[in-house]
Amino acid sequence: MTSPPVPRPASAFDLATLAALFASAYEGYPLPVHMDEAILGMMVECYDESLADSVVLEVDGLPAALALLAVRPPHGWVGGMGVVAAHRRRGLGRVVMQALIERARARGLSELWLEVLEMNEAAHALYRSLGFRDVRAVDVWSLPAAEVATGLTLEAGAEPGGPLLEPEPWQRSAGTRARFAQRPPGVEHLRLSLEGLEGAITWRGAGEARALLDARGGGDAAWWARALAQALLVHEARTLRLLNVASGGVLAEAARLAGGTRDTGQFEMCLTLTTD
Ligand SMILES: CC(C)(COP(=O)(O)OP(=O)(O)OC[C@H]1O[C@@H](n2cnc3c(N)ncnc32)[C@H](O)[C@@H]1OP(=O)(O)O)[C@@H](O)C(=O)NCCC(=O)NCCS
């Protein structure tokens, strides 16, 4: 690369152009990525991605790299980044991430978070070299419905309080849950009672597939395995997706005990932006 391209705010581009850029920047990604204007619009809205603070690099007048910054002060989150395949390994990934970090600093954020697939060595190396540190390993699981429901009582109600079972990643955090609640199919808060113990969950989805957003109270992993699998059966759903639950934590272990599938693993990473 002769001189690095000047970063432009993503808000200078329309959503269709950004969605097309996102799709081509994820070419060769270890998992299939489906992206279109509607999905990107959902991400911008539900994850609080700020297009004015997100960055596009152009090469020869065409979009070549993208990094999306989600903002919930004092934290930020990288909601996707990549470089169009023909332009990789020329420093654009580093430039676009440095520009994103600059924007996060300019917004006064204290921490910048992201997740990276465990097999995505290129991105993991890039993030480490920029100062991000691994915070924990997280898993994505699919948990199947039980064949029979025995003794579970379920009650729909208001959003539960009390401590969460484990820290939540951006895509399932309180800010995201509030946004999901405003969009079809909305979210459902359920109180689960089984074997004398009570737990509470929030999930999202309709039909056969649900996605867990939060979990509180309850018992050990074996209890959660029974409670979640039976909750699915009662709601005539077949699978529950557990996105970025702590590896080896209660929810991941519950999914394993329920006969679930570990779809992939990620590293959750954080860059501290404050200097004091
Ligand atoms: C990850 C990605 C953004 C890197 O972009 P890039 O423009 O090729 O990266 P750069 O040329 O700026 O390289 C920056 C650093 O990334 C790392 N890196 C990039 N490609 C790499 C590879 N193939 N293998 C190992 N490390 C690699 C290196 O640490 C490199 O630093 P170095 O050149 O000093 O060794 C690019 O491969 C990509 O778009 N992949 C698909 C989308 C994706 O995975 N996004 C991340 C989602 S979490």
Domain boundaries, the chain: 8-109, 140-266
Does residue 29 have an active-site annotation? no
Residue 23 host element (H or E): helix 15-25
Question: Chain-centre distance of CA 229, in angstroms?
Answer: 23
Mean pLDDT of 199-225: 96
Torsion of CA 49, 53, 58, 61, to 10 degrees: 100
Residue 176 pLDDT grade (very low, low, confident, very high; cuts 50, 70, 90): very high
Catalytic residue among 47, 49, 127, 253: 127
pLDDT at 275: 58
Tell me the pTM.
0.96
Q: Which residues pair with 159 in a beta bridge?
A: none
Centroid of ligand 1 to alpha carbon of 107 (angstroms)? 26
Among the options 49, 115, 168, 253, which is catalytic? 115
* Contact 81 CB / ligand 1 (< 6 Å): yes
Decide if 144 contacts 237 (C-beta within 8 A): no
Q: What is the mean pLDDT of residues 82-107?
A: 98
pLDDT given at position 159 = 86
Find residue 77's DSSP bridge partners: 70, 113
For residue 222, the CA-to-ligand 1 centroid distance in Å is 40
| Domain boundaries 8-109, corresponding CATH code | 3.40.630.30
Ligand 1 pocket: which of 81, 89, 270 to mutate (most atoms within 8 A of CB): 89
| Rounded-to-integer distance, Cα 233 and Cα 88, Å | 46
Instruction: Note the pLDDT of residue 115.
Output: 98
Examine the residue annotation and report whether 127 is marked as an active-site residue of this protein.
yes
pLDDT band at 4 (very low <50, low <70, confident <90, very high): confident
